[in-house]
């Protein structure tokens, strides 16, 4: 599914121009869902936390009982090789991925003998700084480890996210604020979430029902280094209704201010703006 342009694909040891075919109909990933991926960004000639994203896709593969075949260091080198075809001003989404090819005697458990691997580079612009979103409740929740592979960035998790989005989009909202199995706030349908009250930042504690994102961790580190008070805590929907600011944290756009949750409205406040500023200041120092 191409959502951008100028796609390049790394497959079977070489880079190809375009969105080439990489998976066969009988591959385990095609019919039994053993697919994992990760997403990093190339913006202003920078690829912040690229190593961390490549390391996580290898961890995700192991969580789905797939054997990673490319080391983190090698993956980073391959990505940089592919990025050389883009201009410094390009904004590129970096998507390494694994999938199962064969199965065991039951066909259900993926075989470790062979694993598919590809990297897709896709030119997708960053959202403008003025971009915001709105949130609404959804009846769908995040699963737990006993239900699903929540310790991986796995393709099989995303149909649940899709129905969250479809439900709230139909009501005119941009994203869903999602509960965990206990009814506490976990994240949005597409990204981690932060709220601010009286100048103090809060984010749902990582309880195993959602991926504690790489960009989320980077924001927490940056905010604390800047002297901000940040808490990972159990948060309710009432906490968000009483918040002064809310923003989403994700790799695609780093910081997305939220202007409403159901009937509650928010301003794009000073903490949200500062978090964005801190992120790009940090990114410039990492190269």
For the chain, the structural domain boundaries read 5-123, 133-286
CATH number of 133-286: 3.20.10.10
Per-residue pLDDT reduced to its tens digit, 232-282: 999 999 999 999 999 999 999 999 999 999 999 999 999 999 999 999 999
Q: Span 166-185, mean pLDDT?
A: 97
Per-residue pLDDT reduced to its tens digit, 115-169: 999 999 999 999 998 999 999 999 999 999 999 999 999 999 999 999 999 999 9
**Residue 35 neighbours by CB under 8 Å, 6+ apart:** 29, 64, 97, 98, 99, 100, 154, 155, 156
Q: Span 185-206, mean pLDDT?
A: 98
pLDDT of residue 105: 81
Question: Does pLDDT of 3 surpass 90?
Answer: no
This prediction has a pTM of 0.94
Quote the CA–CA distance of 106 and 53 in Å, as a whole number: 32
pLDDT of residue 161: 97
Q: Span 66-80, mean pLDDT?
A: 98
Q: Span 70-89, mean pLDDT?
A: 96
CATH topology assigned to domain 5-123: D-amino Acid Aminotransferase; Chain A, domain 1 (3.30.470)
Quote the CA–CA distance of 148 and 135 in Å, as a whole number: 25
| C-beta neighbour count of 257 within 10 angstroms | 21
Structure tokens at 136: 């609404």
Question: Does pLDDT of 47 surpass 70?
Answer: yes
Question: Does pLDDT of 190 surpass 90?
Answer: yes
Reported confidence tier of residue 2, pLDDT bands at 50, 70, 90: low
pLDDT of residue 287: 57
Query: Which one, of 67, 161, 89, 77, lies nearest residue 119 by Cα?
Result: 77
Structure tokens at 68: 């990673």
Question: Does pLDDT of 1 surpass 80?
Answer: no
For the residues of 164-182, what is the DSSP string, one character each? HHHHHHTTT-SEEEEE-TT
Per-residue pLDDT reduced to its tens digit, 13-29: 999 999 999 999 999 99
pLDDT of residue 286: 79
**Residue 66 neighbours by CB under 8 Å, 6+ apart:** 34, 36, 98, 99, 100, 110, 112, 115
Reported confidence tier of residue 106, pLDDT bands at 50, 70, 90: confident
Quote the CA–CA distance of 144 and 123 in Å, as a whole number: 34
Tell me what percent of the residues of the chain surpass a pLDDT of 90: 94
Phi-psi region of 56 (alpha: psi -120 to 50; beta: other; left: phi over 0): alpha
């Amino acid at each position: 599914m191409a959502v951008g342009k100028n796609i390049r694909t790394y497959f079977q040891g070489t880079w190809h121009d375009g969105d080439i075919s990489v998976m066969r109909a009988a591959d385990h990933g095609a019919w039994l869902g053993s697919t994992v991926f990760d997403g990093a960004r190339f913006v202003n000639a920078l690829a912040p936390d690229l190593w961390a994203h490549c390391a996580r896709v290898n961890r995700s593969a192991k969580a789905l009982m797939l054997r990673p075949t490319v080391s983190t260091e090698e993956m980073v080198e391959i990505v940089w090789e592919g990025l050389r075809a883009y201009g410094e001003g390009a904004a590129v989404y970096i998507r390494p991925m694994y999938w199962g090819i064969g199965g065991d005697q039951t066909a259900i458990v993926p075989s470790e003998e062979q694993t598919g691997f590809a990297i897709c580079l896709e030119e997708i612009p960053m959202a403008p700084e003025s971009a915001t979103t709105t949130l609404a409740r959804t009846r769908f929740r995040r699963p737990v480890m006993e239900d699903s592979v929540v310790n991986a960035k796995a393709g099989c998790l995303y149909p649940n996210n899709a129905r969250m989005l479809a439900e709230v989009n139909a009501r005119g909202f941009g994203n869903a604020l999602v509960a965990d199995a206990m009814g506490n706030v976990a994240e949005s349908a597409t990204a981690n979430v932060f709220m601010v009250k009286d100048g103090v930042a809060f984010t749902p504690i990582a309880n195993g029902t959602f991926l504690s994102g790489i960009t989320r961790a980077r924001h927490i580190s940056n905010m604390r280094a800047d002297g901000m008070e940040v808490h990972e805590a159990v948060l309710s929907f009432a906490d968000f209704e009483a918040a002064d600011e809310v923003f989403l944290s994700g790799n695609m756009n780093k910081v997305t201010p939220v202007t409403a949750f159901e009937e509650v409205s928010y301003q794009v406040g000073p903490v949200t703006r500062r978090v964005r500023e801190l992120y790009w200041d940090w990114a410039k120092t990492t190269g």
